[in-house]
């Protein structure tokens, strides 16, 4: 059945291509694995139910990233999560190649949410400042400012040049 | 640091195969029409300011009813129409605090001992008369004064389950100021309680609603009451707030209490709007959904309130502003925006000037930033285009 339905086939193909991008944003922006899993599901089911049409593959990628960022914001700044202690939830764990990578990721997770968004899109995913600004709905100089602040905070935390 | 390092970390994040299968399975069900519900869309937007207006009415009505009931009872009591088995003393005690009761009991004991010593029936009678007056005063204080009307009271606060109206002593209103590392701080609270559904659950004591805001402990200090009585010094723990600049905002927990109160620096002005937004974590501390814009006119009768239903775009405009600190704005103020902040049950105010300025009033500190005529114009236009009268 799955192979016969073109929409499901498209979803499967899209997921195989962008699952790491979407999940990476969710994992970095959110505080626990349950939320990251939920956002992952919501984003792709939104894509499946809306079935947006894109001219280019870049547009599709941007749509998925924007949807993921927005979903994460809903989780982080929604009324429910502002008033709920989520420290008891299982934390996200990943196997890093080195202790330095682990420390860097921990330092990124400590950044304020809006700096973290810019950092992930620009440094981790490799979007340029203009693309990052478009995704976040802010101006390019705002993104530059956030990146500069993030860099400063990371350097202070890690005591090394970034 | 090289970008490869970030990309190497990024490669570590991949969803489990089970999760991917779950999504596909749900998509199949959606496709087959087995699941009718759609995934969550949109933000969490709350028309708290509309609720605030409508909710004020029943609260005021309830307060008025209490005044009528208890005030009326007091009048009838004085006129001698109350039930004979209930003495004015017992009736009045229902509206007194536990502390007041204890004080009164101590006072009564003292008076009784005085009466016993004098052994004079007239002296005993004279001792009762001022007691009745003090009872009436205490009742008025609870229900009729501004403080009493605004204060939190509990109909069933008595330990024995009896109905008792108790005015809570809020430490932060007594210990309003302190100094830490040479910087002065003052207690800040909003007017959220009794006005909004969003606040009613947790601003009863005008404290910070959720412990998740609290950061690390910075110091333990002795706080002095605002009236300067050193004998009434109280110990308190001072905490930072998560991700919020402690030069601007701090939380205080008094000894023997589990509640945190918000204190703001007496003087704080960030050198730019973005630094201010960063210092207070503007996006995180607001509800992120709703705001009200109020036009500024010189005639109160012409004052106009506007509501923007979906303020996502407006918030993004605000959160992306940048501009240097200036001494004062020029030109005429076009709109004033209020962003609700559950952290202290109040709002932050933004006054927009078409000349390119915004004056921010946050936690008792006011500062003006030059955001540029384009950005200011964009915001003003957005308010005018999307706001509707409420």
B115, B127 Cβ separation under 8 angstroms = yes
First to last CA, chain B: 53
Task: Flag if B24 and A11 touch (Cβ within 8 Å).
Answer: yes
Domains parsed from chain A with CATH numbers: 1-93 (1.10.1740), 97-162 (1.10.10.10)
For residue A68, give how far its alpha carbon lies from the nearest alpha carbon of chain B (Å): 12
Question: Is A157 part of the contact surface with chain B (CB cutoff 8 Å)?
Answer: no
- Quick check: B10 pLDDT over 80? yes
CB contact set of A62 (below 8 Å; sequence gap of 6+): A131, A134, A135
Cβ pair B10:A125 closer than 8 A? yes
Position B74 scores a pLDDT of 43
Contact between residue A27 and residue A36 where contact means Cβ atoms under 8 Å apart? yes
Q: Which of the pair, B55 or A3, is modelled with greater confidence? A: A3
Instruction: Say how far apart CA B75 and CA B82 lie, in whole Å.
Output: 9
What pLDDT score was predicted for residue A43? 94
Instruction: Give the residue with greater pLDDT, B107 vs B368.
Output: B368
Q: Which residues of B, range 84-113, sit inside 8 Å of A by Cβ?
A: none
| pTM, rounded to two decimals | 0.42
pLDDT of residue A95: 72
With H, G, I as helix, E, B as strand and everything else as coil, classify residue B294: strand
Cross-strand bridge partners of residue B235: B222
Q: Which residues of B touch A8 (CB under 8 A)?
A: 24, 27-28, 31
Say if strands B183-187 and B357-362 run parallel, antiparallel, or are unpaired.
unpaired
Which residues of A, range 64-123, sit inside 8 Å of B by Cβ?
70, 73-74, 76-80, 82-87, 94-97, 100-101, 104-105, 112-114, 123
Instruction: Collapse the DSSP code of A59 into the 3-class scheme (helix H, G, I; strand E, B; otherwise coil) and give the result.
Output: helix
Lowest mean pLDDT among A66-70, A102-106, B6-10, B93-97: B93-97
In this predicted structure, the answer to whether residue B94 has a pLDDT above a threshold of 80 is no
Percent of chain A with pLDDT over 70: 83
Q: Taking the CB of residue B113, how many other CB atoms lie within 10 A of it?
A: 10
* pLDDT of the residue at B210: 76
Q: B15 to chain A: which residues are within 8 Å by CB?
A: 19-20, 23, 37, 40
Residue of A nearest to B245 (CA): A112
Residues whose CB falls within 8 Å of the CB of residue B79, separated by 6 or more in sequence, listed in order: none
Pairs of CB atoms within 8 A across A/B: 144
Average pLDDT over residues A67-78: 83
Confidence (pLDDT) at B204? 47
Per mean pLDDT, which range of A38-52, A139-153, B257-271 is the poorest?
A139-153
Q: Which residues of B114-147 are buried (b: 16+ CB within 10 A; e: fewer)?
A: ebeeeeeeeeeeebeeeeeeebeebbbbbbeeee
**Could you tell me the pLDDT band of residue A17, with boundaries at 50, 70 and 90?**
very high
Q: Which of A3-12, B54-63, B327-336, B338-347 has the lowest mean pLDDT?
A: B54-63
Q: Please, what is the end-to-end C-alpha distance for chain A in angstroms?
A: 50
Q: Which of A37-46, B11-20, B83-92 has the highest average model confidence (pLDDT)?
A: A37-46
User: Given a cut of 70, is residue B144 above it in pLDDT?
Assistant: no
Higher pLDDT, A102 or B230: A102
- For residue A84, the model assigns a pLDDT of 63
pLDDT per position as a tens digit, B72-86: 444 444 433 333 333
Q: Which H or E element spans position B79?
A: helix B72-79
Model confidence band, residue A88 (pLDDT cutoffs 50, 70, 90): low
Residues B289-343 pLDDT 10s = 456 665 554 444 445 667 776 777 888 888 889 999 998 898 888 888 877 777 7
pLDDT at B389: 64
Helix (H) or strand (E) holding B357: strand B357-362
Considering only residues 350 to 379 of chain B, which have any Cβ-Cβ distance to chain A shorter than 8 Å?
Answer: none
Q: How far apart are the CA of B278 and the nearest CA of chain A, in angstroms? A: 9
Instruction: For residue B33, give both structure tokens.
Output: 């029409």
The torsion angles phi and psi of B387, rounded to 5 degrees, stand at -80, 145
DSSP secondary structure string for all residues of B251-266: EEEETT---EEEEEES
> What are the DSSP E strand ranges found in chain B?
177-180, 183-187, 214-223, 234-241, 249-254, 260-265, 291-295, 305-307, 324-326, 333-341, 346-353, 357-362, 365-370, 388-389
Tokens 């009745």 map to which residue? B132
Cα distance between residue A124 and residue B11, in whole Å: 9
Average pLDDT over residues B344-357: 84
Residue B349: pLDDT band by 50, 70, 90 thresholds?
confident
CA distance B361 to B341: 13
For residue B57, what are the contacts with CB-CB under 8 A and spacing of at least 6? none
- Mean pLDDT for chain B overall: 66
What is the average pLDDT value for chain A, to the nearest integer?
83
Question: Taking CB atoms and an 8 Å limit, are A124 and B210 in contact across chains?
Answer: no
| Confidence (pLDDT) at B105 | 53
Residues from chain A that touch B9, judged by Cβ atoms under 8 A, are 94, 96, 101, 104-105, 124
**Is residue B323 within 8 angstroms of chain A, CB to CB?**
no
CB contact at 8 A, B94 and B165: yes
Please, which pLDDT band fits residue A83 given cuts at 50, 70 and 90? low
What residue spans of chain A are helical by DSSP H?
6-29, 33-50, 57-77, 79-82, 99-110, 113-119, 129-136, 140-158
Domains annotated for chain B, with CATH where assigned, are 59-150 (no CATH), 171-265 (2.170.150), 273-389 (3.30.1490.410)
Residue B66: the pLDDT is: 53
Give the integer Cα–Cα distance in Å for A22 and A135: 13
Quick one: pLDDT at residue A85? Answer: 62
pLDDT score of B111 more than 90: no
Q: Nearest CA to B372 among B326, B332, B313, B323?
A: B323
Beta strands B177-180 and B183-187 are antiparallel
Q: Which of A69-73, B54-58, B213-217 has the lowest mean pLDDT?
A: B54-58
The strand pair at B291-295 and B214-223 is best described as unpaired
Q: What is the residue-wise DSSP string for B167-209?
A: PPP-HHHHS-EEEETTEEEEE---S-TTT-TTTTTT-TTSS-S
> Could you report the per-residue pLDDT of B188-222, keeping only the tens digit for each?
876 544 344 344 444 445 778 778 889 999 999 99
Beta bridge pairs of residue B324: B272, B370
Q: Is the pLDDT of residue B239 over 90?
A: yes
Do residues A72 and A26 make contact, with C-beta atoms less than 8 angstroms apart?
Answer: yes
Q: What is the pLDDT of residue B205?
A: 52
- Prediction ipTM score: 0.85
CA A77 to chain centre: 15
For B19, the closest chain A residue by CA position comes to A37
């Amino acid at each position: 059945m799955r192979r016969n339905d073109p929409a499901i086939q498209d979803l499967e193909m899209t997921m195989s291509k962008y699952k790491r991008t979407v999940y990476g944003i969710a994992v970095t922006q959110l505080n626990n694995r349950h939320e990251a899993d939920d956002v992952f599901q919501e984003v792709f089911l939104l894509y499946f139910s809306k079935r947006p049409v894109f001219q280019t593959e870049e547009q599709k990628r941007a749509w998925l990233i924007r949807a993921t960022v927005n979903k994460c914001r809903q989780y982080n700044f929604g009324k429910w999560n502002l008033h709920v202690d989520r420290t008891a939830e299982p934390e996200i764990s990943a196997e890093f190649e080195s202790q330095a990578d682990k420390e860097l990721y921990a330092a990124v997770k400590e950044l304020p949410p809006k700096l973290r968004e810019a950092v992930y899109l620009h440094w981790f995913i490799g979007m340029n400042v203009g693309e990052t600004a478009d995704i976040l709905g802010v101006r390019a100089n705002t993104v530059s400012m956030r990146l500069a602040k993030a860099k400063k905070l990371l350097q202070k935390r890690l005591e090394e040049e970034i | 640091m090289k970008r490869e390092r970030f990309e190497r970390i990024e490669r570590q994040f991949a969803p489990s195969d089970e999760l991917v299968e779950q999504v596909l399975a749900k998509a199949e069900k959606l496709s087959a029409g087995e699941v009718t519900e759609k995934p969550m869309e949109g933000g969490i937007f709350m028309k708290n300011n509309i609720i605030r207006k409508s909710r004020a009415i029943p609260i005021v009505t309830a307060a008025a009813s209490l005044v009528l009931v208890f005030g009326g009872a007091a009048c009838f009591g004085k006129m001698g129409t109350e039930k004979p088995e209930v003495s004015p003393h017992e009736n009045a005690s229902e509206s007194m605090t536990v502390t007041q009761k204890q004080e009164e009991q101590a006072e009564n004991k003292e008076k009784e001992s005085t009466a016993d010593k004098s052994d004079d029936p007239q002296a005993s009678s004279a001792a009762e008369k001022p007691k009745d007056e003090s009872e009436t005063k205490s009742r008025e204080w609870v229900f009729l004064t501004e403080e009493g009307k605004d204060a939190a009271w509990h109909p069933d606060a008595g330990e024995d389950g009896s109905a008792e109206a108790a005015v809570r002593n809020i430490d932060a209103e007594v210990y309003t100021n302190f100094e830490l590392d040479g910087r002065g701080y003052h207690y800040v609270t909003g007017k959220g309680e009794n006005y909004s559904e969003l606040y009613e659950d947790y601003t009863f004591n005008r404290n910070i609603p959720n412990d998740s805001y609290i950061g690390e402990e910075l110091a333990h200090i002795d706080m002095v009451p605002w009236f300067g009585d050193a004998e009434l010094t109280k110990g308190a723990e001072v905490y930072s707030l998560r991700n919020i600049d402690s030069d601007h905002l701090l939380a205080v927990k008094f000894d023997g209490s589990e509640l945190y109160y918000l204190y703001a620096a007496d003087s704080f002005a960030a050198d730019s709007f973005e630094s201010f937004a960063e210092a207070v974590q503007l996006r995180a501390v607001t509800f992120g959904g709703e705001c009200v814009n109020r036009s500024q006119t010189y005639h109160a009768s012409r004052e106009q309130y506007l509501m923007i239903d979906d303020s996502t775009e407006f918030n993004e405009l605000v959160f992306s502003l940048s501009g240097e600190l200036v001494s004062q704005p020029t030109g005429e103020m076009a709109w004033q925006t209020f962003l609700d902040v559950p952290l202290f049950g109040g709002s932050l105010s933004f006054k927009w000037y078409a000349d390119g300025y915004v004056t921010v009033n946050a936690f008792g500190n006011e500062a003006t930033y030059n955001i540029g005529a384009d950005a200011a114009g964009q915001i003003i236009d957005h308010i005018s285009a999307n706001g509707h009268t409420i």
